[in-house]
Amino acid sequence: MDKILVLDFGGQYDMLIARRVRERGVYAEVVNYDKITAAEIRDRAYTGIIFTGGPNSVYKEGAPSFSREILALGIPILGICYGMQLMSYLAGGKVVNAPEGEYGKVTLCVTDSPLFKGVPRESVAWMSHRDYVAEVPAGFTAVATTDKCPTAAVACEKKKLYGVQFHPEVTHTAFGGRMLENFLFEICGCKKEWNMEGFIETSVETFRKKCAGKKVLLALSGGVDSSVAAALMHRAVGDSLTCVFVDHGLLRKGEGDLVEATFKGKFGMNLIRVNAEDRFLSKLAGVTEPERKRKIIGEEFIRVFEEQGWALGKVDYLCQGTIYPDVIESGKGDASTIKSHHNVGGLPSVIDFEEIVEPLRDLFKDEVREVGLKLGLPPDLVWRQPFPGPGLAVRIIGEITKEKADLLRDADAIFREEVAAGMRGAEPNQFFAVLTDTRSVGVMGDERSYGYVLALRAVTTDDFMTADWTRIPFDVLEKASSRITSEVRGINRVVYDVTSKPPATVEWE
């Protein structure tokens, strides 16, 4: 199978590049720049290479770099943003700090180049840079410009080396998809061989061999990711898989019973439900800092799984439904850490399993859903609202108590009911309630009240790496607010979050 190497130099959204490549039927894998050599790249027979963006300046000491040998491998290369600057720098060009940076939408003017086949002479592109290529290397030419950047794209046609200062992987670049297709199919000569049927077949065969004669314990939360992981692993290892569902007292309303009925009753999987509300809440008592919450929950999850493993006899593997956005936000290479996901950065350093296996670790949410449908999971389960592993712990600001969890459970259920009723068929990609640590004065029944402020959050996104706040109709918000303040005693004010990602994350903590 043709494959593209996405060489990661630390940009926060680098996996979007791999996702865009995969969407076009070509397999892409991301490798950190310091985890592979030029010789290994040659031996692995990549069809093409993409250098990603990154937050550094190539000319500064300690900036992520690579061996110049990569330019002589004869493999087509596309450098994006920092990746273009690095390629130019390695080839002998000059990269400097520009008098004025470019951020956001710009008008891109292109010339004749295989990279721009079918792209209008002028179109919109998305920029985010301060440095630029001031002098192109020998053998390269500038093939695109903007008002502020004379080298918006460069090319060495003879060696099939291309660079773009803008970001073709983002939707704001009008013809970015066409440019990526030109690189993949016109320049690299790739064939469309990557699809979810093939992923399932390969994964099942891989884990069937890997886990032969072994016991596998799967951490089942009931969310989309762990559910799809369970279905995939069950197909691979059958009754060697035992799913452990930890009810930590921080689930949505009625969720524990639904999970048990679905996987134990409907699919006949080996399922153990552990009711551990008191255990988790006691560990979280007095804790207010988000990272500590996540790490406490992550470690306690593992300890519960270990205990279940001991009860079952020796269990060899722990399986988790980790997907790539969990990994990237928990910190990767030179990318900055946004927050530690309980199943990634929150894992303790010592665990009593031979290995943790994560069959979905390199998939985006849309790919996970497609896998779930192809495995026969019901659409209602596959398209369920995403729910973080730490549950309501990251939707309760400040200290976590049972009283707060119960308040949030009821309020969140009302919000979800009203959105589902008022926006049927057009629901946001994710929507939920957050119990803030702020109280406000109100009037209820002609008496003064002093209750919690509840925040409602809804986002629209296709990858969960970036997201826009959803314009929920005012009548839906009004009805949700009225019901919450009337039916949930202890909440007297409701606000709506109108912040996109970035600068915010989808969750509040």
Residues with catalytic function? 81, 167, 169
* One-letter identity of residue 300: E
Please, which residues have CB within 8 angstroms of residue 233's CB and are 6 or more apart in sequence?
A: 207, 216, 218, 241, 319, 359
**Residue pair 352/309 in contact by the 8 Å Cβ criterion:** yes
**Residue pair 238/204 in contact by the 8 Å Cβ criterion:** no
Could you tell me the two tokens for 369?
A: 């859903």
Please, which residues have CB within 8 angstroms of residue 494's CB and are 6 or more apart in sequence?
A: 453, 454, 455, 456, 480, 481, 484, 485
Buried b (16+ CB within 10 A) or exposed e, 190-205: beeebebeebbeebbe
Residue at token pair 């773009």? 164
Bridge partner list, 244: 219, 272
Could you tell me the two tokens for 196?
A: 């979810």
Could you tell me the two tokens for 492?
A: 């007297």
**Residue pair 162/78 in contact by the 8 Å Cβ criterion:** yes
The DSSP secondary structure of 196-260, one letter per residue, reads HHHHHHHHHHHHHHHTTT--EEEE--SSHHHHHHHHHHHHHHGGGEEEEEEE-S-SPTTHHHHHH
Buried b (16+ CB within 10 A) or exposed e, 460-492: ebebbbbbebbebeeebbebbbebbbeebebbb
Residue at token pair 């929920």? 472
Say how far apart CA 379 and CA 125 lie, in whole Å. 36
Cis peptide before 502 (omega within 30 of 0): yes
**Which residue pairs from 421-424 have beta carbons closer than 8 angstroms and sit at least 24 positions apart in sequence?**
422/473, 422/475, 422/476, 422/479, 423/472, 423/473, 423/476
